[in-house]
């Protein structure tokens, strides 16, 4: 139990240790997803896999990760966070390690499917943890901080992956990153506690979190776990019947479309359309994710600053997201220049906007019904990840003759649709109350 000896003590700051854990979890999460982007070329040569089959391997993760978001959210609501998260992290780590021992197309695809399966509940769980540990006026900054890890991985880890592959081969790359991930799951289990279970958090910090809107205990106890694990169809209906939820769902799909372009087609665009060498492509690719990293941190800071200064929650949360969606449409500027530097500038501005809008999980923390927050987070992430399934195919069709201009127009239009979704559909940012 937390230290409750006195209410006059200065509040502890244990929530920032939790934030560091979440940052590390997201780093490991994306490290386990993206290591195959570097290992792929050598893996394909060693195993005799053609480009079409390699495409299936690349996309396999999204098949399970996307479609299992809703069940994953249900499990997040049903089980105690600490044990559940440590278990899924351990199993996705094992799937990462085993990729280093795979010798067949079906074996690799099966392991990528497993990786998506066990990572599917991760982001709904992150949202649940940050909602418990952070008051409303600090939550956007907290979400921005741990979300920024995904952009840093894209910017900083490729050279590390190349070093590992050159040192211990592509198989060793999977094994080493998987072992790091296993160690992370152990650290998470040993250190993380929900607020009411944390032995060193004092009552002053708990009062500070709760008085600021943090859900330090939303009813999750060992005794209630059995009741919570019984799925309620009414909760599923709640996740789909509210207009404001559909507003953030659609917005997340639009936000994800731009991000997925950088995960998939951007290097090809630079190499084949802009004529850059592989080495040059690797250098240029680092810049837009760094822009996104700056954007997401700025977004969280500005949003929480506005809350502290008395600006309404709706305006405080929407302003960075709306600005980010507009900036995302700057990607269309690359269609009107032949300068590589200007292309990268437009792409960096667009991904900076993507980062600026990436605090969207704060809307789930603020408006989702308490009893089904994990489920709503799962639906939110599911719709967002539909972009990972559709965007690569859409761009592939639009750019089938090597012309990416229609594809960039599509992404810009989708960004503007996201802008209008948050502007008109979300409405007032307040929690949806549902009867017990």
Q: Note whether 120 and 92 are within 8 A (CB).
A: no
Per 3-state DSSP, the chain is made up of helix, strand and coil in percentages (nearest 5) of: 80, 0, 20
Measure the CA–CA gap between 272 and 360, rounded to whole angstroms. Answer: 33
Instruction: Note the pLDDT of residue 6.
Output: 43
Measure the CA–CA gap between 264 and 253, rounded to whole angstroms. Answer: 16
Q: Note whether 328 and 266 are within 8 A (CB).
A: no
Measured in whole angstroms, the distance separating CA 374 from the mean position of its chain's CA atoms is: 14
Q: What count of other Cβ atoms lies within 10 Å of the Cβ of residue 336?
A: 10
Tokens read off for 293: 């990293």
DSSP 335: G
Q: Note whether 214 and 134 are within 8 A (CB).
A: yes
Instruction: Using alpha carbons, select from 76, 91, 364, 51 the residue that is nearest to residue 194.
Output: 76
Measure the CA–CA gap between 129 and 188, rounded to whole angstroms. Answer: 12
Q: Which residues share a beta bridge with 202?
A: 3
* CA distances (Å), origin 371, targets 43, 146, 214, 232: 45, 24, 14, 10
Tokens read off for 348: 């960096």
Q: Note whether 320 and 208 are within 8 A (CB).
A: no
Instruction: Using alpha carbons, select from 397, 270, 261, 381 the residue that is nearest to residue 328.
Output: 261
Residue with tokens 């440590």: 86
- What domains does the chain contain, in order, with CATH numbers? 1-231 (1.20.1250.20), 235-429 (1.20.1250.20)
* CA distances (Å), origin 67, targets 24, 129, 388: 25, 22, 11
Tokens read off for 207: 């009062």
Instruction: Using alpha carbons, select from 28, 64, 34, 29 the residue that is nearest to residue 382.
Output: 64
Q: Which residues share a beta bridge with 3?
A: 202
pLDDT in tens, the chain (436 residues): 555 444 457 888 899 999 999 999 999 999 998 888 778 768 878 888 776 677 678 778 888 988 888 888 888 888 888 999 999 999 999 999 999 999 988 999 999 999 999 999 998 899 889 989 998 888 888 888 898 898 899 888 878 888 898 899 999 999 999 999 999 999 999 999 988 888 888 888 888 888 888 777 764 544 444 444 455 666 777 888 889 999 999 999 999 889 888 877 777 777 777 776 555 655 677 788 889 889 988 988 888 888 888 888 788 889 999 999 999 999 999 999 988 889 999 999 999 999 999 888 788 878 888 777 778 888 888 898 888 778 877 887 788 777 889 999 999 999 999 999 999 998 888 887 766 6
Torsion, Cα 252 433 378 299, to 10 degrees, reads 40
């Amino acid at each position: 139990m937390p230290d409750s000896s006195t209410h006059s003590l200065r509040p502890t700051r244990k929530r920032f240790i939790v934030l560091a854990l979440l940052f590390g979890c997201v780093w490991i999460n994306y490290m386990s997803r993206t290591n195959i982007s570097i290992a792929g070329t050598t893996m394909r040569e060693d195993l005799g896999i053609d480009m079409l089959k390699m495409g299936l391997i690349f996309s396999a993760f999204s098949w399970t990760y996307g479609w299992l978001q809703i069940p994953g959210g249900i499990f997040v609501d049903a089980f105690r966070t600490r044990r559940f998260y440590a278990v899924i992290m351990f199993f996705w780590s094992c799937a990462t390690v085993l990729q280093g021992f795979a010798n067949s197309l079906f074996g690799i695809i099966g392991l990528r499917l497993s990786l998506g399966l066990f990572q599917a509940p991760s982001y709904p769980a992150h949202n649940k943890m940050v909602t418990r540990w952070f008051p409303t006026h600090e939550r956007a900054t907290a979400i921005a901080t741990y979300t920024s890890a995904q952009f840093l991985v894209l910017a900083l880890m490729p050279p590390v992956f190349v070093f590992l592959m050159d040192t211990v081969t592509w198989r060793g790359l999977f094994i080493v990153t998987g072992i790091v991930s296993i160690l992370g799951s152990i650290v998470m289990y040993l250190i993380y506690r929900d607020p009411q279970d944390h032995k060193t958090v004092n009552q002053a910090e708990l009062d500070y979190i709760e008085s600021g809107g943090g859900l330090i205990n939303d009813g999750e106890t060992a005794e209630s776990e059995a009741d919570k694990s019984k799925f309620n169809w009414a909760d599923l209906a709640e996740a789909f019947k509210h207009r404001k939820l559909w507003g953030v769902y659609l917005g997340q799909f639009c936000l994800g479309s731009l991000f997925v372009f950088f995960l998939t087609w951007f290097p090809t665009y630079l190499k084949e359309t802009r004529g850059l060498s592989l080495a040059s492509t690797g250098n240029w690719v680092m810049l837009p994710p760094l822009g996104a990293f700056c954007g997401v941190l700025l977004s969280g800071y500005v949003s929480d600053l506005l809350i502290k200064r008395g600006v309404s929650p709706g305006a405080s949360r929407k302003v960075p997201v709306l600005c980010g969606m507009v900036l995302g449409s700057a990607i269309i500027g690359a269609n009107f220049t032949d300068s590589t530097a200007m292309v990268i500038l437009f792409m960096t501005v667009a991904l900076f906007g993507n980062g600026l809008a990436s605090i969207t999980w704060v809307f789930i923390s603020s408006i989702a019904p308490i009893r089904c927050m994990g489920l709503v987070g799962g639906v939110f992430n599911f719709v967002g990840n539909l972009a990972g399934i559709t965007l690569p195919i859409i761009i592939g069709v639009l750019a089938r003759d090597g012309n990416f201009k229609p594809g960039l127009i599509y992404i810009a239009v989708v960004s503007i649709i996201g802008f209008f979704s948050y502007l008109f559909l979300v409405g007032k940012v307040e929690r949806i109350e549902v009867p017990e």
